[in-house]
Amino acid sequence: MNSATAVSSAWSYLKQSLNLDGKWQKELDKKEIEICLELVVRHDLVDFTKELVWQKLYYETRTRIVPTFWSKFSLAHNENVGYESLNEAVNGLNADIAKQQHYFSLLDRLSGSVTSKSFDQYKAHLSAILLSKIPPHFEYSVHAFYSRAFRAFMSLEKRSFNFDADESGDVITHCSGCDQEIDQCECNVILDNCHNINKDLTELGILEKLSVGMIHTLILSQIQSHVQDSCVGNFASSQIDMLEKWLHSIIFRWLGIVYGEDYIQQDQVRKNFTQFLYHAYTHARIEQLFEIIIGYPESFPSVKDLQECLSRTQLKPTLTQSLKTTLEARLLHQGATTEDILIAYVSAIRAFSVLDPTGVLLDAACDPIKQYLRLRGDTVRHIIHSLTDSSGELGGELELGRTGTAILDDESVAAVGDAEASTDWENWSPAPSDADPSKLWTGKKPGDIVPMLVNIYGSKSLFVKEYRKLLSDRLLLNLHFDTEEEIRNLEFLKIRFGENELHNCEVMLKDVADSKRINTHLQSVAHKPDFPISAMIISAQYWDQLKDKPMKLPIKIINQLEQYNQNYKAVKTSRSLHWVPQSGSVELELEFDNHRSVSFTVPPDLAAIISHFEDKEQWDLEELSQEMELPMSHLRRRVHVWQTHGVLQEISTDRFKVDENGPTFNGHKILLETLAKMEEEEEDDDEEENDKKPEEDGLQIYWSYVVGMLTNLEALPVERIHQMLKMFTMQGSSGAECTLQQLKNFLDSKVKQQLLSFSSGTYRLPKP
């Protein structure tokens, strides 16, 4: 056989055996191959032949194996199908690769190497082709496959802990992992299968590339939902340790099963998942922050958790933002009472003192509360009320702060401290990096509630003014001159606000004490009056304006009061009393014709009414109204009080007489509460008036400015006047800021009084 024919026959054999021309020969005859190879080697055709074989192999892979693999993945979004399809695809792929085995042995032979180097080379190639042809829908199958595997894993895991019983102690009959009855549970099968697939894919080196995204997504969503589950409605226990343990025992183990132990030993992988856990947990807690705050201090553990998480995550801005939104949606609206808002605020201050001792977060997050409270008229009243009411939520706060001894000066209230002037410069530290740079950071710790509350207004004088009002109300209702409680409160407030600010209040308390003394004295010297009088003698300058509605008292009472006044003048020369007839109270004992007698403690106007009936049996309402100089509507309300208590009866419309049967009850009765209610109603009546009055009083100081302005500048529009007032009135000395609208109302009222004229949009002084 000459060499040419040998080569040509070998070539055709090789061609045939390698299926180069498309026909497939099942069995390669070893002998023939040997001969062929020998020829190839002899003719120095190794490289050429290798190239041929590779070409063939690649072609095969590209046109058949890979498309077959991907074609297994169905488009249908059905978990079962998805699960099966990955299974099938991988098995098919394995079979296909096995079929190519003879190429590899041939290639190895050609290279003369014993180890299957060519196979490794092929794997790289295969994975490249596979990945280049990934269809978009394959992820679903991977997801389906692994989530089923994960469920199986979890369910087995659970069972190994719980011994066939779930938390409620019921025997599990249904496996949550494979959706089968427990006796037919396939979890183990699924898991084994998963192991095999993983092994195969790892073998091919494509496991990570194919599945890593899906598996991570799967795990992250598992972490998310687990965190949610463990956080819901549970603030009173710390979760973070539990969660970390869970992460280690379940998630890391599962990852170990899928990717092998080596994978989870990587620091980066562990870190990533732990970080994600913290993130998820922080988010969950942030969402619940409002409830946590309301529930403080019961929710202390979760606040602690959150504090730890915040230090590991960068979620502070998210926290402030989310809390702000929640607060606005859930707290700062018309429906919430001021008291509730205050309680929430105080709770927030307390919670944040744990959460973020620097106070930066509190400042940022609770700013809306402060702003909102500033808009509510009754805030100061509520604050003071709850501070001085020892039984209330904040009752202890005044006392609590006294160890601090720091007098609130306006600087600290306004949270503006001069860093240089600080005596505590040695302990100075820079503002936290997340502090709002537009605000001066004082390093004040938000622990003390009282300054935080006062801070709502940014000025203590408003606060003190409101306290004075409150104190005056309380003292005037206190008929026993008992001031011990108030003195105690005042002392505490003095520690906080300083003596000067509260000087007025001190005078008020002293007035009460003096009144008591003078009363005792005057009563001892007086010649037996018809009824005992004890006067609350107050210094008008120091007390808030009293509600002095004019009323004419019956003449005999006036005489008595005059007598008292005379006595007073004798004791305190050059001073006299000005009576405020509608304030105070009267103790009455009414005797009826049937010899029953009943005692009442009533406001003076009620007493005056009944006293008139002493002189005259029947009164027309109108008559009485003239006699007492009270408006009909007010009088009717008061008469009605007597009527409901069975003292008076209406014999015809608006005509009353004493009810002979007398009241239906015996003993002592206090009608002061009814008074409070009536006054409230009346206040509603005159609200319009009352609202306007102080406003105009405040503006009165501007009047001379306005006159001066208009004298010199002739005519000005209201905007200009407003602007000029703002510019040229001394800030602080007048204090009262007014809005454009207020000014306009004020000027219009002057126009009505013909002190101004208004034409074509400008105000001017009228021509003399």
State the residues that interact with another protein by CB under 8 A.
704-705, 707-709, 711-713, 724, 727-730, 733
Q: Are 100 and 66 in contact (CB under 8 A)?
A: no
Q: What's the CA angle centered on 421, arms 415 and 426, to 5 degrees?
A: 95
Q: Rounded distance, CA 390 to CA 382, Å?
A: 13
Query: In the complex, what is the shortest distance from the CB of residue 737 to another protein, in angstroms, rounded to a whole number?
Result: 16
698: tokens are 């405040």
Give the residue with the Cβ less far from another protein, 236 or 713: 713
Residue 590 pairs in a beta bridge with 598
Give the residue with the Cβ less far from another protein, 428 or 728: 728
| Backbone dihedral region for residue 630 (phi beyond 0: left; psi -120 to 50: alpha; all else: beta) | beta
Q: Rounded distance, CA 5 to CA 69, Å?
A: 42
What are the DSSP calls for 79-100, one per residue?
HHHHHHHHHHHHHHHHHHHHHT
Q: Rounded distance, CA 246 to CA 277, Å?
A: 10
φ and ψ at residue 728, rounded to 5 degrees = -105, -10
Which residues fall within 8 angstroms of residue 532, CB to CB, at 6 or more apart? 523
Query: In the complex, what is the shortest distance from the CB of residue 458 to another protein, in angstroms, rounded to a whole number?
Result: 23
Give the residue with the Cβ less far from another protein, 354 or 707: 707
Per this entry, what is the length of the chain? 768
Q: What's the CA angle centered on 685, arms 680 and 686, to 5 degrees?
A: 100
326-349 burial code (b ≥16 CB/10 A, e <16): bbeeebbeeeeebbebbbbbbbbb
Q: Are 39 and 8 in contact (CB under 8 A)?
A: no
φ and ψ at residue 730, rounded to 5 degrees = -65, 120
Which residues fall within 8 angstroms of residue 185, CB to CB, at 6 or more apart? 155, 175, 177, 178
205: tokens are 């080196």
Give the residue with the Cβ less far from another protein, 542 or 703: 703
Query: In the complex, what is the shortest distance from the CB of residue 733 to another protein, in angstroms, rounded to a whole number?
Result: 7
Give the residue with the Cβ less far from another protein, 279 or 722: 722
Give the residue with the Cβ less far from another protein, 665 or 728: 728
Query: In the complex, what is the shortest distance from the CB of residue 396 to another protein, in angstroms, rounded to a whole number?
Result: 43
Give the residue with the Cβ less far from another protein, 405 or 712: 712
Q: Rounded distance, CA 269 to CA 309, Å?
A: 19
Give the residue with the Cβ less far from another protein, 3 or 422: 422
Give the residue with the Cβ less far from another protein, 232 or 727: 727
Coil vs helix vs strand at 175: strand
Q: CA torsion sign, 328 to 329 to 330 to 334?
A: positive
Residue 171 pairs in a beta bridge with 165
Give the residue with the Cβ less far from another protein, 708 or 717: 708
Give the residue with the Cβ less far from another protein, 270 or 720: 720
Query: In the complex, what is the shortest distance from the CB of residue 462 to another protein, in angstroms, rounded to a whole number?
Result: 24
What is the distance between the terminal CA atoms of the chain, rounded to a whole angstrom?
A: 145
Give the residue with the Cβ less far from another protein, 414 or 707: 707
Give the residue with the Cβ less far from another protein, 237 or 711: 711
Name residue 328's amino acid: E
Side-chain-facing half-sphere of 159: CA atoms under 13 Å: 19
Query: In the complex, what is the shortest distance from the CB of residue 711 to another protein, in angstroms, rounded to a whole number?
Result: 4
710: tokens are 């208009």
Beta strands in 286-427 (DSSP E): none
Side-chain-facing half-sphere of 304: CA atoms under 13 Å: 12
Which residues fall within 8 angstroms of residue 297, CB to CB, at 6 or more apart? 350, 351
Query: In the complex, what is the shortest distance from the CB of residue 767 to another protein, in angstroms, rounded to a whole number?
Result: 11
Give the residue with the Cβ less far from another protein, 540 or 713: 713
Radius of gyration, alpha carbons of the chain: 46
Query: In the complex, what is the shortest distance from the CB of residue 540 to another protein, in angstroms, rounded to a whole number?
Result: 24
Q: Rounded distance, CA 569 to CA 560, Å?
A: 14
Q: Quickly tell me which residue has 């201090």 as its tokens.
A: 297
φ and ψ at residue 601, rounded to 5 degrees = -115, 115
132: tokens are 């280049």
Query: In the complex, what is the shortest distance from the CB of residue 738 to another protein, in angstroms, rounded to a whole number?
Result: 16
Query: In the complex, what is the shortest distance from the CB of residue 705 to another protein, in angstroms, rounded to a whole number?
Result: 5
Give the residue with the Cβ less far from another protein, 438 or 733: 733
Query: In the complex, what is the shortest distance from the CB of residue 757 to another protein, in angstroms, rounded to a whole number?
Result: 17
570: tokens are 């004798």
